Structures are given as structure tokens and as C-alpha cells.
């Protein structure tokens, strides 16, 4: 009997979903809006993190060593720095490479190149490019470089210049912006999601409000509560499923169209990210949509089951 | 079989709709309750269906105190009572067949029972050819016959009909009353409310209870007196 009942509840739910097409359509429409909001927030978060990562990657501290510093001394300094927990990696650029880089950078600047030719020897020292794990850690690394321990370790000071202080303002500002964007993004996401969930909840309540008399009739005919409530839950599930399918398709089409612009702006191929995560995206949407539909239905039907 | 014991119903506006009413209905009786609008007929039936609770007094169905039935057991109780209303109360998104089948599904009948009984009952009320019509495609008389089919398909002990002919023309009215008489002859207790003299005339020498201001003022066989 239990299986027969489950079968009947599914069948009735599906038939109601199809027959009340206008009502289903409005519920699905609102739910698509909700799922679109949620998915848009997920994807913009992906874009934002990727953009921030790229910006972060561009930040480093360059330690310019004196031209007298021997590679041994520089490597010793490099090893000392690598032990620091804040340091992610350190790139060593030899004097020769630094010169090549300089020439390359001033390829079109004949005056500078000519001036360089005038010099007898390479005027550039070797450089250590230090990348920290977090932007906020650069200050720590910079003060370590300033500390006497480092300076005393090599008799002569081999460090010509640390460019952190030039970048400090920019780094601090960027750090603040990144935090603000993260917090603002999170807060607005929470608000948007709550609002759209409430709208969906109310729409489904309205669809069930339309059926309140029927629910009363079913009670009078002798149907028990589970048997009345079941089909509404199935309908709620179908709202979620249909909306999730539609939202996934809509986003795929939008991304097909906008991906070139996005790639241009954020240097991230969002379409291939979407394609490679399509199953998890779809299941997240089905999960959110159907639980929203089912929970709203439970609350809404309950009101009318008291006859 | 059905006992109303000193039942009073006062709504929030403090008007006594049913006033200290006692009444016994025996098995297989055909009881008509007549009275003007507001006499308390419908409230009496609603209390019997546990749609309303009495302010005072008790209602028993056999040995069960209706007001002590838990919400979860209410379905089982109501499956023993068939109901027919003036406004039919069919499920609008289901066909005639599905409306009748719903009552059987609610009672936990098997698919085989449903597919054999539903067409049979619909044929009985002469709707065999309109089984797959939706209520909106049926006339008032046809809708009421679907409602009757739904009410009797589970072979209830009691059939409650609240002004079943109120929305029907005289021709359909006769049809419906004849169907109800037939159901009663087959052994089902029928309780019918009406304010239509013709209905009582059609019922011949059955028991007629007249209500006025929530009280029983006449309880005799046959005859319509207001």
C-alpha cells in the first residue's frame, strides 16, 4: 500500500504540475529568477577571485642587491628568506639577466640604450623577486629585510634597495579594496539570496492558496494529510527541477554570447569553467530549487490542513 | 447510530446557531432536515462531519465521540461518511473519473478495485459517457451526480447531503432525489437538508425534522411544515 501511495502521490503531483500550467509557469518564472541570482553570484565570485588572484600575482617585493654582492651572498640571503613562513617563492634574477630585461624593456628608447653602451660594466645588481602568500604579509617581509640581523649577517650590506616602500601605499590600498569587495560581495549576495528566496516562498504560497478549497474538500472526502500534502511537495520539486534545467540552459547561452568580452576583461575563460563544472552547478541548482519548492509547499499546505 | 446530545453551537458573534439540541438517527433511516436559512441545519451537519466543534454537548457516531477523534484519524472517520454539498465541491483539475477515484485512493483501495468500481458507480448515476470530462465541462446536475458517485463509492455507512438540489432545476432535482432514495434502499443512512417543499413531497413518508432558531420544532414522518 505504501508503494501504491507513493506512486499515486508522484502521479498526482506530476499531473497537477502539467494541468496547472499557468500557475506552474509563474512559480517556475520566479524560481528561475532566484536561481539566476544565486548562480550569477557564484560565477561573479569565481570571476572576482580570479581577477584578484591575478592582481595579487602581480605584486611582489624586489630586493635590488649591490653590484658588488657575490652570487653566494645573494643565494645565502635567498635561503634565509625562503625559511620565512610568509614567503611563497623567490625568483633570482642574475645581473646578466637583469641587464637583458632592462634592454628588452627599453627596446625603443635609443637614448637610454646608448647611455648604457657608454658604461664599461653592467650597472645593474642581481634582483630577488619575493612573492608572499598573502598581500598583508609583505610588510612583515619588508621589515625583516630591514632588520639588523639580515644586515649584520653579511658584513657589508648587500642590499641596495627594497622597493616595498615605493609600493607600500598601492599594496595597502589594494589590500583594503580586496577586503571591501569581498565583504560587500558577501553581504549583497546574502541579501539578494534572502530576498529572492522570500519571493519564491510567497509565490508558491500563493499557488497553494489557490488550491485551499480543494485541500478542504480532500479533507472532507476523507484523505489523510500526507496523501493531500504529497502531490504539492512533488509539484514543488518539479518547480525546482524545471527551473534548474532552464537556468542552466539560460546561463550556457548567455556565456556563449558574452564569454569573449569576459575573457577580454578578466582573463578567465568562464565558459570552460562553466562547462567543466556543469554537473555540480546543475545539482546545486536542483538542490536549492527543489528544497525551496518542497519547504515552501510544506509550510503553505499546512495552513489549510486544519479542517 | 448517530446521537446528538444537548448540542449547542455559539459562533463568535454570540448568536446561538444550534441550541441545546438532542437527536437520534437510526441505521438505514432517511432523515430530512428542513428549515429556513439560518435555522442551523448546515451547522448541524458540519458538526457531524467534525468541520465545526460544538460549544457544548456531545455528538456520537456509534460509540465514538466525534470531537475526540485526532486529526490523524479524521480521514478514517470521514471515509465512513459520504458527503454531497449544494456547491458540489468537486476537485476542478480532475476529471469525473479522477474525482471519484480520489475518494477510493484516500481510503487506500487498490488500483484494481478503483478501475472496476469507479466506472460502475459513474454508470449508476448515468455518467458513464462523461467519465473523462472535467467539472467545468459538466452541467450542475451532472456535477452533483459526480459528487454523489464520489460520496457512495466507498460504500459509506452514512450519506450526508447538504441542500444537494439547491442549485438544480426541477428535472435534475428529481433525478438526484431518486438516486438518494435508491442509495437509502440499498442500506445507507441518508441525512438530507433542504428548504424545498418539492423535495420533501418527493420523499413520501420518510422522517422530516423541522428546525427553527437552532431547535427542533417538529419531528414526524412525512409532510413539510415551516
For the segment A76-100, what is each residue's pLDDT rounded down to a tens digit?
888 888 888 888 888 888 888 888 8
Question: Is residue A55 predicted with pLDDT exceeding 80?
Answer: no
Residue A252 resides in a domain: yes
pLDDT recorded at residue A246: 95
Tell whether A212 is covered by a domain.
yes
What is the spatial distance between Cα A188 and Cα A214, in angstroms, rounded to a whole number? 40
- CA–CA separation, A138 and A215 (whole Å): 66
C-alpha–C-alpha distance, residues B177 and B163, integer Å: 11
Tell me the chain A residues in contact with residue B105 when contact means C-beta distances shorter than 8 Å: 8, 223, 227
- Nearest by CB to B78, from A214, A221, A306: name it: A221
How does residue B14 score in pLDDT terms, banded at 50, 70 and 90? confident
Tell me the pLDDT of chain A averaged across its residues: 84
What is the rounded CA–CA span in Å between residue A89 and residue A78? 10
Shared-domain flag, residues A191 and A255: yes
Partner residue facing B93 (CB), from A8, A20, A221: A20
Residue at grid coordinates 658604461: A119
Kindly compute the dihedral angle of the four CA atoms of residues A101, A104, A108, A112, in this order, to the nearest 10 degrees: 30
Q: Same domain for A41 and A108?
A: no
CATH of the domain at A72: 3.30.70.3040
Residue that wins the pLDDT comparison between A67 and B5: B5
Residues in chain A within 8 Å Cβ distance of B103: 221-222
- Are A234 and A298 part of one and the same domain? yes
Q: How many CB pairs under 8 A join A and B?
A: 59
A32, A133: one domain: no
Residue B225 has pLDDT above 80, yes or no: no
Instruction: Report whether pLDDT(B72) > 90.
Output: no
Q: Which residue of B has its CA nearest to A224?
A: B75
- Position with higher pLDDT, A1 vs B126: B126
Question: DSSP string spanning chain B?
Answer: -EEEEEEEEE-TT--EEEEEEEEEE-TT-EEEEE--TTSSHHHHHHHHTTSS--SEEEEEETTEEGGG--GGGHHHHHTTEEEEETT----TTS-HHHHHHHHHHHTT--HHHHHHHHHHHHHHTT-GGGTT--GGGS-HHHHHHHHHHHHHTT--SEEEEESTTTTS-HHHHHHHHHHHHHHHHTT-EEEEEE--HHHHHHTTTSEEEEEETTEEEEEEES----
Please tell me the predicted confidence (pLDDT) of residue A307: 58
A62, part of any domain: no
What DSSP character marks residue A157? -
Is A235 in the same domain as A153? Answer: no
| A145-161 residue pLDDT tens | 777 556 555 555 777 77
- CA distances (Å), origin B135, targets A11, B87, B131: 20, 12, 10
- Contact residues, chain B, for A16 at CB < 8 Å: 93
The answer as to whether A60 is a domain residue is no
A114-132 per-residue burial string, b: 16 or more CB within 10 A, e: under 16: eebeeeeeeebbbbbebbb
Mean pLDDT of chain B: 90
Is A164 inside any structural domain? no
pLDDT for the residue B86:
86
Q: What digits encode the pLDDT tens for the residues B40-49?
A: 899 999 999 9
Q: Is the pLDDT of residue A252 over 90?
A: yes
**Per-residue model confidence as pLDDT tens digits over B163-209:** 888 888 888 888 889 888 988 998 999 999 998 888 888 888 889 99
Residue A156, pLDDT score:
59
Whether residue A167 lies inside any domain: the answer is: no
CB contact under 8 A, B79 and A222: yes
ipTM: 0.85
Which of B 40-99 lie inside 8 A of A, CB atoms? 49, 51, 71-72, 74-79, 81, 83, 89-93
A117-138 average pLDDT score? 82
Check whether A221 has a pLDDT greater than 70: yes
A47 part of a folded domain: yes
Report yes or no: A138 and A58 within 8 Å, Cβ to Cβ.
Answer: no
Q: How far apart are CA A90 and CA A130, in angstroms?
A: 5
Compare A150 and B161 and report the one with higher pLDDT: B161
Identify the domain boundary among A109, A131, A157. Answer: A157
Lookup: cell for B144: 452533483
Q: For residue A165, what pLDDT is reported? A: 67
Do A43 and A87 belong together in one domain? no
Residues A8-52 have pLDDT tens digits of 999 989 998 898 888 889 889 989 998 998 898 888 888 878 877
Phi, then psi, of B105 in degrees rounded to 5: -60, -40
Q: What is the pLDDT of residue B165?
A: 87
Question: Number of folded domains in chain A?
Answer: 2
CB hemisphere CA count around A5 (13 angstroms): 13
What is the reported pTM?
0.74
Q: Looking at the structure, do residues A240 and A203 belong to the same domain, yes or no?
A: yes
| Residues A151, A208 within the same domain | no
CA dist., res. B168 & res. B198, Å (int) = 12
Which one has a higher pLDDT value, A43 or A134? Answer: A43
Bigger pLDDT: A168 vs B157? B157
The answer on A215 and A147 residing in a single domain is: no
A250 pLDDT tier (thresholds 50, 70, 90): very high
For the residues A127-140, what does the mean pLDDT come to?
81
Q: Which residues contact A15 (CB under 8 A, 6 or more apart)?
A: none
Q: Which residues, in sequence order, are CB contacts of A237 under 8 Å at separation 6+? A: A13, A290, A293, A294
Does the residue A169 lie in any domain? Answer: no
Residue B222 has pLDDT above 80, yes or no: no
Residues A251 and A277 in one domain: yes
Tell me, yes or no, if A219 comes closer than 8 A to chain B by beta carbon. Answer: yes
B153 vs A136 pLDDT, higher one? B153
Do the strands B207-212 and B30-34 form a parallel or antiparallel pair, or are they unpaired? parallel
d(CA A303, CA A307): 10
Among candidates B49, B75, B102 on the partner chain, residue whose Cβ is nearest the Cβ of A224: B75
Query: Where among A107, A123, A157 does a domain terminate?
Result: A157
User: What is the per-residue pLDDT for A166?
Assistant: 66
Smallest Cα distance from A217 to chain B, Å: 6
Q: Among the ranges A125-134, A243-252, A290-299, B176-185, which has the highest mean pLDDT value?
A: A243-252
Q: Which of A157, A186, A210 is the last residue of a domain?
A: A157
Q: What are phi and psi of B186, to 5 degrees?
A: -80, 0
Query: Rounded distance, CA A90 to CA B129, Å?
Result: 87
- The nearest CA of chain A is from the CA of B171 a distance in Å of 27
Interface contact B220, partner A, CB < 8 A: no
- The residue with greater pLDDT, A137 or B74, is B74
Residues A285 and A179 in one domain: yes
A148 and A82 part of one domain: yes
CA-to-CA dists, residue A273 to A34, A43, A255, angstroms: 22, 9, 10
Q: Residue A144's domain spans which residues?
A: 67-157
Amino acid at each position: 500500500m505504501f508503494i501504491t501511495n507513493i506512486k499515486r502521490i508522484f502521479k498526482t503531483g506530476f499531473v497537477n504540475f502539467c494541468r496547472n500550467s499557468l500557475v506552474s509557469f509563474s512559480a517556475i518564472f520566479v524560481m528561475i529568477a532566484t536561481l539566476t541570482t544565486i548562480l550569477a553570484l557564484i560565477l561573479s565570485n569565481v570571476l572576482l577571485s580570479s581577477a584578484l588572484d591575478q592582481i595579487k600575482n602581480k605584486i611582489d617585493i624586489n630586493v635590488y642587491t649591490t653590484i658588488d654582492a657575490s652570487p653566494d651572498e645573494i643565494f645565502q640571503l635567498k635561503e634565509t628568506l625562503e625559511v620565512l613562513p610568509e614567503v611563497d617563492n623567490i625568483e633570482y634574477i642574475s645581473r646578466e639577466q637583469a641587464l637583458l630585461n632592462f634592454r628588452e624593456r627599453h627596446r625603443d628608447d635609443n637614448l637610454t640604450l646608448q647611455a648604457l653602451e657608454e658604461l664599461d660594466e653592467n650597472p645593474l645588481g642581481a634582483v630577488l623577486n619575493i612573492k608572499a602568500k598573502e598581500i598583508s604579509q609583505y610588510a612583515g617581509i619588508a621589515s625583516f629585510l630591514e632588520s639588523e640581523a639580515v644586515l649584520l649577517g653579511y658584513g657589508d650590506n648587500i642590499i641596495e634597495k627594497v622597493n616595498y616602500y615605493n609600493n607600500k601605499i598601492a599594496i595597502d590600498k589594494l589590500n583594503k579594496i580586496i577586503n571591501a569587495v569581498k565583504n560587500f560581495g558577501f553581504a549583497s549576495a546574502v541579501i539578494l539570496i534572502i530576498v529572492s528566496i522570500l519571493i519564491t516562498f510567497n509565490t508558491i504560497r500563493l499557488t497553494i492558496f489557490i488550491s485551499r478549497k480543494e485541500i478542504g474538500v480532500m479533507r472532507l472526502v476523507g484523505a489523510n494529510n500526507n496523501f493531500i500534502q504529497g502531490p504539492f511537495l512533488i509539484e514543488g520539486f518539479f518547480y525546482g527541477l524545471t527551473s534548474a534545467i532552464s537556468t542552466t540552459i539560460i546561463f550556457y547561452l548567455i556565456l556563449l554570447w558574452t564569454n569573449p568580452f569576459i575573457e577580454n576583461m578578466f582573463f578567465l575563460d568562464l565558459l570552460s569553467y562553466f562547462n567543466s563544472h556543469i554537473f555540480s552547478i546543475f545539482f546545486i541548482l536542483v538542490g536549492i530549487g527543489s528544497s525551496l519548492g518542497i519547504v515552501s509547499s510544506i509550510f503553505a499546505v499546512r495552513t489549510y490542513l486544519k479542517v | 447510530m448517530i446521537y446528538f446530545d444537548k448540542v449547542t453551537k455559539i459562533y463568535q458573534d454570540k448568536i446561538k446557531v444550534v441550541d441545546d439540541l438532542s437527536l437520534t438517527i437510526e441505521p438505514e433511516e432517511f432523515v430530512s432536515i428542513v428549515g429556513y436559512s439560518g435555522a442551523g441545519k448546515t451547522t448541524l451537519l458540519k458538526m457531524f462531519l467534525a468541520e465545526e466543534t460544538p460549544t457544548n454537548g456531545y455528538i456520537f457516531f456509534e460509540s465514538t465521540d466525534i470531537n475526540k477523534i485526532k486529526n490523524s484519524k479524521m480521514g478514517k472517520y470521514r471515509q465512513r461518511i459520504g458527503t454531497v454539498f449544494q456547491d458540489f465541491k468537486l476537485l476542478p483539475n480532475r476529471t469525473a473519473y479522477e474525482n471519484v477515484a480520489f475518494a477510493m485512493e484516500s481510503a487506500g483501495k487498490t488500483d484494481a478495485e478503483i478501475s472496476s468500481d469507479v466506472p460502475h458507480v459513474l454508470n449508476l448515476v448515468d455518467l458513464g459517457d462523461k467519465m473523462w470530462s472535467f467539472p467545468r465541462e459538466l452541467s450542475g446536475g451532472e456535477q452533483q451526480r459526480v459528487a454523489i458517485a464520489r460520496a457512495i463509492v466507498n460504500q459509506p455507512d452514512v450519506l450526508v447531503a447538504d441542500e444537494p438540489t439547491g442549485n438544480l432545476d426541477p428535472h435534475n432535482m428529481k433525478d438526484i432525489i431518486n438516486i438518494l432514495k435508491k442509495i437509502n434502499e440499498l442500506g445507507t443512512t441518508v441525512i438530507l437538508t433542504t428548504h424545498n417543499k418539492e423535495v420533501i413531497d418527493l420523499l413520501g413518508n420518510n422522517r422530516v425534522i423541522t428546525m427553527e432558531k437552532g431547535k427542533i420544532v417538529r419531528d414526524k414522518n412525512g409532510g413539510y411544515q415551516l
